[in-house]
Amino acid sequence: MVQVTTNVIPTGTTTGPDSSTDSISAIVHRQRTFFATGQTQSVEFRLTQLKALKQAILDHEAAILEALKADLHKPELEAYLTEIGVIKEINYVIKHLRAWAKPKSVAVPLDQFPARGRIYPEPLGVVLIIGPWNYPFQLMIAPLVGAIAAGNCALLKPSELAPQTSRILAQLIAQTFDPTYIAVVEGGMEVSQAVLAEKFDHIFFTGGTAIGKIVMRAAANHLTPVTLELGGKSPCIVDSDIQVEYAARRIVWGKFLNAGQTCIAPDYLLVDRRIKPALLTAMQTAVQEFYGDPAQSPDYGRIINDRHFTRLAHLLNDGKILVGGQTNPDERYIAPTILDSVPLDATVMQEEIFGPILPVIEYDQIEEAIALVTAKPKPLALYIFSRNKQFQDRILAQTSSGGVCINDTIMHIAPSSLPFGGVGDSGIGSYHGKASFDTFSHYKSVLVKNFWFDLKWRYAPYAGKLELFKRLID
């Protein structure tokens, strides 16, 4: 069943129907009707909605944190930084929206004189946002911020695998926006299929590559453009010229954040043979410092469900366990685990891990590491640890990835000024900050002429004018 509830109506919107079981088609139809009124075109309207969204998050903060704890055992600090922290994105967009929304003047060639060129950003219409379960709040709200900023109506489909967060998200949106403007539909596969059967003006999907292909096929039926934020095996390449303690802490934090269930978590470690013993020792120390006994630590998460737990538990057999390896199926607990002596053809090196298991591969020459990375599909993130600028530049030049972070992990996703997205198998399109506004906007080109005078060089008869045309082209 699809649940939609009408509560608080923001200023400027129309009142939606008094119903809690509307069909998806009806929701989309009403959103199209509301969009046609032109109310979302107003920058003031958009700013009002962004501020309302921010306040709603602040008002629901305790409930959001509780839901994330129930779904993923997220520590409060992690949940605040990586989920509630989406407020920083809202603040950034509010600060810059007026400038982004202004039409821009562009130069036009002399043969167009007298004329001027303008580019107008305009909203796409009604957009669909489908979210994942690993950061089930932030990865719904962040693209919604872009959709609102660009002036669209939006339908949100959160993941049913994080049911508590899905529920609080639905309540938050229903209490803040009329469903004729922004609505949430909850449910499993049948709801996802019904949503994808509708025609939208853009689909924004965050999740796995396999489901991304399904979304893209469904979008193709309506020629709907897509943004796909996927994943992949994000490598972490470690040079011998590093600060070992800092590198170890940053790798351990990035890998085991959210129990490894992060699309840009370091998926495998490529480490220079000369630094490997010192780095692994420092990483073991970091795991102990961070979590003590991770099974008892309030700062360590759990696997989302039994299916993923079982899949990850099998991967523990793919190498020599240096750290961790303990499991508890009753709690869906897998300890932070580092694997050594991992064959390159092992399953753990073939698929995205998406859990707290870090395989370690050593190399002698950087050519070996680069060859291994480039033999795999392009990842969403790539990490480089090195003081050597030439080492950094060589990897940047010879590899392709959605984004790169040098001498840290995860943190490149934080600045709203940096577009975030994948390439190849790791995704299509980007968002965050101005990139989010661009993703949910159409840039309409407009050429404006006037009636000052009318040169006849382009009109028939054409006799004797060819040389003039050639000079204009040259």
Sign (positive or negative) of CA dihedral 269, 270, 271, 276: positive
pLDDT of residue 137: 98
- When divided into structural domains, the chain yields a total of 2
Q: Are 182 and 264 in the same domain?
A: no
Residue 177 sits in a domain whose CATH number is 3.40.605.10
Burial 190-213 (b: 16+ CB within 10 A, else e): ebbebbbebebbbbbbbbbbebbe
Q: Which residue has the tokens 């995704």?
A: 427
Answer for the pair 422, 230: CB distance below 8 angstroms, yes or no: yes
Q: Are 406 and 351 in the same domain?
A: yes
Q: Are 115 and 252 in the same domain?
A: no
**Domain limits at 269?**
235-421
Which member of 229, 236, 362, 405 is catalytic? Answer: 229
In whole angstroms, what is the distance from residue 240 CA to residue 388 CA? 9
pLDDT of residue 281: 98
Per-residue pLDDT reduced to its tens digit, 297-340: 999 999 999 999 999 999 999 999 999 999 999 999 999 999 99
Per-residue pLDDT of the chain in tens (474 residues, 90 and over written 9): 333 333 333 333 333 333 333 599 999 999 999 999 999 999 999 999 999 999 999 999 999 999 999 999 999 999 999 999 999 999 999 999 999 999 999 999 887 888 999 999 999 999 999 999 999 999 999 999 999 999 999 999 999 999 999 999 999 999 999 999 999 999 999 999 999 999 999 999 999 999 999 999 999 999 999 999 999 999 999 999 999 999 999 999 999 999 999 999 999 999 999 999 999 999 999 999 999 999 999 999 999 999 999 999 999 999 999 999 999 999 999 999 999 999 999 999 999 999 999 999 999 999 999 999 999 999 999 999 999 999 999 999 999 999 999 999 999 999 999 999 999 999 999 999 999 999 999 999 999 999 988 888 889 999 988 887 787 776
pLDDT of residue 20: 34
In whole angstroms, what is the distance from residue 424 CA to residue 220 CA? 18
In a domain, 153, yes or no: yes
In a domain, 310, yes or no: yes
In a domain, 458, yes or no: no
In a domain, 16, yes or no: no
Per-residue pLDDT reduced to its tens digit, 431-465: 999 999 999 999 999 999 999 888 888 899 999 88
pLDDT of residue 304: 97
Q: Are 172 and 58 in the same domain?
A: yes
CB atoms within 10 A of CB 246: 14
Q: Are 73 and 217 in the same domain?
A: yes
CB atoms within 10 A of CB 82: 22
Per-residue pLDDT reduced to its tens digit, 463-472: 988 887 787 7
In a domain, 472, yes or no: no
Residue 248 sits in a domain whose CATH number is 3.40.309.10
What angle, 0 to 180 degrees and rounded to 10, lies between the N-to-C axes of helices 389-398 and 366-374?
30
Q: pTM (2 decimals)?
A: 0.93
In whole angstroms, what is the distance from residue 422 CA to residue 78 CA? 24
In whole angstroms, what is the distance from residue 396 CA to residue 375 CA? 16
In a domain, 359, yes or no: yes
Q: Are 201 and 97 in the same domain?
A: yes
Q: Are 140 and 161 in the same domain?
A: yes
Q: Are 136 and 244 in the same domain?
A: no
Is 229 designated active site? yes
Which member of 153, 236, 263, 405 is catalytic? Answer: 263
DSSP string, 175-223: HHS-TTTEEE---SHHHHHHHHTS--SEEEEES-HHHHHHHHHHHHTTT
Q: Are 206 and 301 in the same domain?
A: no
Answer for the pair 358, 342: CB distance below 8 angstroms, yes or no: no
Could you give the residue ranges of the DSSP H alpha helices within 102-199? 138-150, 163-176, 189-196
In a domain, 265, yes or no: yes
State CA 165 to chain mean position distance.
18
* Length of the chain, in residues: 474
Q: Are 399 and 339 in the same domain?
A: yes
In whole angstroms, what is the distance from residue 100 CA to residue 98 CA? 6
In a domain, 350, yes or no: yes
Q: Are 413 and 432 in the same domain?
A: no
Q: Are 225 and 307 in the same domain?
A: no
